[in-house]
């Protein structure tokens, strides 16, 4: 984003490559971070999107979906969903999962990893109908999104799934668990609760997916993951996916997986399709006024605004509504049906703005988000990476702006 696209004046000023350059990043070497004491250099929030020209060699997959040794009905459903050519993570990891290897997939968000594990696992269940697959994810939204995608791939197959997440009726989930489910998808806390109540028997699950395992680690779910893994039979088939690799993540891989095949299609920390910049908030103005001035511009058509706290996000959403914007919020204090309604309205284009805490920063696949705005600076740089990954998806260019006071 060129800094010149924004009006300079008392309401706030935009900083970018043209304004700060190299010398200014030293001059403005102030660092920001969350309560945990991590500090983030604000120069990391400034980066031009890389425009890929036709001359650049595109990824050429080794396979087509029709080439994979999978069930014919599954192939038909894949084509019906509009999938023709596998993404890099799908192309490279599906053959190993089909062989039964433990795998570690390191991939940026939005790379198609959900289909990368669902397709071979659906085939596995079709070949062995007694198989029960456990899929563990960090957030309710991601669990429900995976369940929705699973239903698309399993049309007319009589395969069933249950979604076990907090914030929704545990009684209904217990009722659904009485039936045969080939897939149990859930969040660590709710799954642990159901296991302890003897409604989920992990001895029946020889296949487990730990999706966004790095995020589960960040959210403090490591003991819940260990609890579940310790109750699963050995040998088992373990699929482990993460966007980032750290010493702690490497430790979990050694602990949970047996001779895994690692597939990495991660290219860089932040999407090359996202134009990143900062907006400095002048002393004689407020962040909400600067945000208002941006949101009235026609190019800000579908905007995700991130705040640090649940109360702050709810308050900001209400203020935007009072100012005439079509806005809603999602955060941990909002009940599940309210969160789902807000997400659906945003996805369908009925809302211009969705204000969210970091619960929405990972995994959600929302098409055509024009801008991500960090109203509050994220606690960690990893949180920043995952927030801005909501835009610039599927080869499109997106824009990310971070407010700096």
pLDDT in tens, 292-337: 999 999 999 999 999 999 999 999 999 999 999 999 999 888 887 8
Rg of the chain, C-alpha, whole Å: 22
pLDDT in tens, 91-122: 999 999 999 999 999 987 677 899 999 999 99
> Length of the chain, please?
405
Among 64-68, 218-222, 333-337, 346-350, whose mean pLDDT is lowest? 333-337
Which band of pLDDT confidence, cut at 50, 70 and 90, is reported for residue 136? very high
Which band of pLDDT confidence, cut at 50, 70 and 90, is reported for residue 286? very high
Q: Which domain holds residue 166?
A: 65-264
Q: What does 266-332 look like in DSSP terms, one character per residue?
A: ---SS-TTEEEEEEEPPTTS-HHHHHHHHHTSTT--SEEEE-SSHHHHHHHHHHHHHTT--EEEE-T
Residues 255, 290 within the same domain: no
* Beta bridge partner(s), residue 183: 133, 161
Helix 140-153 to helix 336-347 angle (10° resolution) is 60
Q: What does 42-64 look like in DSSP terms, one character per residue?
A: GGGG-BPPPPPPTTSPPP--S--
Domain for residue 60, yes or no? no
Residues 320, 338 within the same domain: yes
Residues 101, 228 within the same domain: yes
The arithmetic mean of pLDDT across residues 197-205, rounded, is 93
Residues 279, 368 within the same domain: yes
- Rounded Cα gap, residues 116 and 93, in angstroms: 7
Beta carbons within 10 angstroms of residue 239's beta carbon: 27
Domain for residue 111, yes or no? yes
pLDDT for res 233: 93
pLDDT in tens, 371-382: 999 999 988 877
End-to-end CA distance of the chain: 20
pTM exceeds 0.75 for this model: no
pLDDT for res 359: 73
* Mean pLDDT for all residues in the chain: 84
Beta strand extents in 211-272 (DSSP E only): 237-242, 261-264
> Final residue of a domain: which of 202, 231, 264?
264
């Amino acid at each position: 984003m060129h800094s010149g696209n924004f009006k300079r004046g008392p309401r706030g000023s935009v900083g970018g490559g043209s304004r700060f350059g190299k010398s200014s990043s030293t001059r403005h070497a102030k660092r920001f971070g969350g309560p945990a004491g991590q500090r983030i250099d604000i120069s990391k929030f400034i980066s031009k999107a890389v425009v890929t020209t036709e001359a650049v060699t595109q990824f050429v997959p080794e396979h087509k979906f029709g080439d994979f040794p999978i069930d014919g009905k599954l192939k038909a459903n894949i084509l019906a969903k509009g999938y023709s050519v596998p993404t890099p993570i799908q192309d490279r990891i599906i053959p190993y999962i089909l062989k039964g290897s433990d795998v570690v997939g390191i991939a940026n968000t939005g790379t198609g990893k959900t289909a990368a594990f669902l397709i071979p696992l659906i085939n596995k269940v079709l070949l062995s109908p007694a198989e029960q697959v456990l899929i563990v994810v960090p957030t309710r939204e991601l669990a429900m999104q995976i369940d929705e995608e699973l239903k698309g791939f399993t049309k007319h197959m009589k395969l069933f799934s249950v979604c076990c997440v907090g914030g929704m009726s545990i009684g209904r989930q217990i009722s659904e668990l009485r039936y045969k489910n080939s897939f149990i998808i859930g969040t660590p806390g709710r799954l642990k609760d159901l296991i302890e109540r003897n409604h989920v028997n992990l001895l029946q699950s020889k296949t487990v997916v730990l999706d966004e395992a790095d995020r589960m680690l960040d959210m403090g779910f490591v003991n819940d993951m260990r609890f579940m893994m310790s109750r699963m039979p050995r040998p088992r088939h373990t699929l482990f996916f993460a966007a980032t690799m750290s010493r702690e993540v490497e430790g979990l891989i050694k602990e949970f997986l047996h001779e895994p095949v690692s597939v990495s299609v991660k290219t860089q920390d932040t999407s090359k399709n996202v134009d990143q910049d900062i907006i400095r908030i002048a002393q004689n103005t407020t962040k909400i006024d600067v945000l208002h001035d941006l949101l009235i511009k026609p190019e800000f058509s579908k905007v995700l605004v991130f705040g640090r706290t649940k109360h702050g996000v709810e308050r900001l959403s209400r203020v935007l509504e009072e100012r005439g914007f079509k806005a809603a919020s999602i955060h941990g204090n909002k009940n599940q049906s309210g969160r789902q309604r807000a997400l659906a309205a945003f996805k369908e284009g009925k809302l211009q703005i969705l204000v969210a805490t970091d619960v929405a920063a990972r995994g959600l696949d929302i098409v055509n988000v024009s801008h991500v705005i960090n109203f509050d600076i994220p606690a960690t740089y990893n949180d920043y990476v995952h927030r801005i990954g909501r835009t610039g998806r599927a080869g499109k260019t997106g824009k990310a702006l971070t407010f700096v006071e």
